[in-house]
């Protein structure tokens, strides 16, 4: 296997592992937390009647006030719980997509190492996408950090060179 192709193949595998291991750990923790929070018992709502203030006096007034505040607070907490559930589900979907992308990167690296044509094509498409990704970063970076921002461009162009022109089975 040529040195350049080996470098690109190992690079894809390392990138897949560096992205996939934390995504898997975060997804597992988030899933465990969602299951754990979903298994908590929810108390039934208090449907008892308000106490008569004339009969119970100050105790009835305090009890009715606490019940009214508790009902309103319960509705507010239910609203916040629904929003938190939405956020947790969104994060879980994003982590799952990140994990699938990491698996794709890893297997593209394995395929490039084994001369697979599909891996070469997918690797070239990914490298072209990696060229387009840091363009927005270049617009906001100060001048002294431009060299650091050009590193993804260089790596992507190197990957395209290896997969597009240097990939011949007999070339080095």
Query: Which position has the higher pLDDT, 64 or 91?
Result: 91
Give per-residue pLDDT as tens, 10-50. Answer: 999 999 999 999 999 999 999 988 888 777 677 776 677 77
Residue 152 lies in a domain: yes
Say yes or no to pLDDT of 166 above 80. Answer: no
Exposure class string for 67-105: b at 16+ Cβ within 10 A, else e: eeeeeeeeeeeeeeeeeeeeebeeebeebeebbebbebb
Residue 169 lies in a domain: no
Please give the pLDDT value at position 80: 85
Over residues 51-58, mean pLDDT = 83
SS3 81: helix
Q: Are 27 and 96 within 8 A, CB to CB?
A: yes
What percent of the chain clears pLDDT 70, i.e. is strictly above it? Answer: 92
Residue 57 lies in a domain: yes
Query: Over the chain, what is the mean pLDDT?
Result: 85
Residue 132 lies in a domain: yes
Give per-residue pLDDT as tens, 129-158. Answer: 888 877 777 888 888 888 887 888 889 999
Residue 114 lies in a domain: yes
Instruction: Give the DSSP H/E element, type plus range, for residue 168.
Output: none
Give per-residue pLDDT as tens, 90-134. Answer: 999 999 999 999 999 999 999 998 989 999 999 999 999 888 877
The dihedral over CA atoms of 135, 137, 139, 143, expressed in degrees to the nearest 10, equals -120
Number of domains in the chain: 1
E strands, 30-137, are none
| Cα 50 from Cα 72, distance rounded (Å) | 15
Residue 171 lies in a domain: no
Of 80, 131, 96, 84, the closest CA to residue 26 belongs to 96
Query: Which position has the higher pLDDT, 37 or 159?
Result: 159
Residue 170 lies in a domain: no
Residue 137 lies in a domain: yes
Please give the pLDDT value at position 172: 47
Please give the pLDDT value at position 20: 97
Domain that holds residue 11: 3-164
Question: Both ends of the chain: CA-CA distance in Å?
Answer: 8
């Amino acid at each position: 296997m040529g040195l350049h192709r080996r470098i690109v193949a190992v690079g894809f595998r390392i990138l897949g592992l560096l992205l996939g291991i934390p995504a898997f750990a975060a997804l597992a923790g988030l899933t465990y937390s969602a299951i754990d929070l979903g298994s908590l018992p929810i108390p039934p709502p208090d449907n008892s009647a308000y106490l008569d203030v004339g009969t119970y006096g100050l105790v009835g007034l305090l009890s009715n006030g606490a019940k009214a505040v508790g009902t309103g607070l319960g509705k507010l907490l239910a609203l916040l719980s629904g929003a938190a559930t939405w956020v947790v589900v969104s994060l879980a979907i994003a982590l799952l997509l990140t994990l699938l992308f990491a698996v794709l990167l890893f297997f593209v690296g394995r395929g490039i190492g084994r001369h697979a044509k599909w891996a070469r094509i997918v690797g070239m498409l990914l490298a072209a996408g990696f060229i387009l990704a840091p363009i927005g970063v270049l617009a906001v970076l100060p001048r002294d950090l431009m060299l650091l921002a050009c590193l993804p461009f260089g790596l992507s162009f190197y990957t395209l060179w290896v997969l597009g022109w240097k990939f011949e089975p007999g070339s080095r």
